[in-house]
Amino acid sequence: MKAIVLENPLIQHKLSIIRNKNTGTKEFRETIGEIATFLCYEAMSDAVLEDIEIETPIEKTKCKKLNENQYAFVPILRAGTGMLDGLIKAIPNAKIGHVGLYRNEETLKPVRYYYKMPKDIQKKEVIVLDPMLATGGSAVDTITMLKEDGVNKIKFLCVIAAPEGIKKLQQIHPDVQIYTASIDEKLNEIGYIVPGLGDAGDRIFGTKGE
């Protein structure tokens, strides 16, 4: 599968906000959530709807309904939680799991410290969230853990991706569709996306420079 890139002018405008180093914590956090909502809309384009009958103020009519309980969002801690509000606005009854990974600064490989999923996770379509797909290590490990739990429908949403991360994720999990707002140029020597936006977690939570 090719990564799906959202090239809507409104999203490109919002990318310029979060890339700007002078954007404050509040605006950065809100904009990340807004982009996440757009990504969710795109990721749900193939959703299966149920036929229902409702009554409007005028008459009875047939409509389509999404079974929200069939979905689960899994943000990769901690930056992935910055995208969560944007998706909950779209599918408020989806279940939520969490994966805690941190990057070993020497090896650049992810280390797992937390994993908690909703009941019957194997029966749900899971949407994994992480603002940055850099080396791809955290995404690959998270998806591997989910598959080991029996999940077979997985999508990955990120705001910015590096070609290296896309390549790694596609090589190891070719069945997982990637949705992103931008594919950037490359990774630098310390594993950050160029031009990127810096450390998404630090900017979402206001810990930049600490």
Find the catalytic residue in 19, 23, 78, 103.
103
Does the annotation mark 199 as catalytic?
Answer: yes
Check 78, 199, 203, 207 and give the catalytic one. Answer: 199
| C-beta separation of 159 from 181 below 8 A | yes
Q: Mark whether 107 is an active-site residue.
A: yes
Of 23, 202, 203, 207, which residue is the catalytic one?
202
Angle of the 137-148 helix axis to the 163-172 helix axis, nearest 10: 20
Look up 120 and say whether it is catalytic. no
Q: Which of 107, 112, 135, 144 is catalytic?
A: 107
Count of other CB atoms within 10 angstroms of residue 4: 16
- 121 neighbors 146 (Cβ within 8 angstroms): yes
DSSP run (H or E) holding 143: helix 137-148
CB 43 within 8 A of CB 92: no
| Element spanning 186, H or E | strand 186-187
Please identify every residue annotated as catalytic. Answer: 103, 107, 199, 202
